[in-house]
Amino acid sequence: MYEWFKFLHLAAGVVWLGGMTLLVFASRPAAIQQMAPPERLTLMASVLSRFFWMVWVAIALLLASGFWMLSVSDMKLAPKGWHAMSGLGLVMCAIFVHNWFAPFKRLKRSVALSDWPAAGRAMGQIHPLVLTNLGLGWAAVAAVLIWR
């Protein structure tokens, strides 16, 4: 059973980190290079709508599987890297929740109203939050692998 929870945990992490990597290093730069703001912002709102729902599922799986694995491993004896990953993961969740309810909500509303300057500002707020979470996610991976 432990291995199934570990698989779910890893799969959810891969989806979240992989999706952020694709957004930061491929989708957004290509859209900026190839599209005018109305098309680009409409596309990014649509992409983020789909991806962010996947992140909600990933968060549920990460929290459930992670805390289950910690609970069956005697938390006080778990490697320090596991605790670091848990703390970083909770910070990532908080950043994502803020991203969902503040700038992403503004992005969707602005795109629906064709208010491109406001949509651009919202996207400008989303990007650094995704970058921060991408860095924290890789820090969590490093912590769990290196810090025993």
The predicted pLDDT at position 120 comes to 98
Write out pLDDT tens, residues 40-64. 999 999 999 999 999 999 999 999 9
pTM confidence score: 0.94
What is the crossing angle of helices 103-112 and 80-101, to 10°? 30
CA distance 4 to 128: 33
Mean pLDDT of 118-129: 98
Q: Which two tokens stand for residue 146?
A: 């290196």
Write out pLDDT tens, residues 68-97. 999 898 877 888 999 999 999 999 999 999
Domain count, the chain: 1
Domain that holds residue 76: 2-146
> Which domain CATH number covers 53?
1.20.120
The predicted pLDDT at position 29 comes to 98
How many percent of the chain have pLDDT more than 90? 92
The predicted pLDDT at position 76 comes to 78
The answer for residues whose C-beta is within 8 angstroms of residue 83's C-beta and 6 or more apart is 75
The predicted pLDDT at position 60 comes to 99
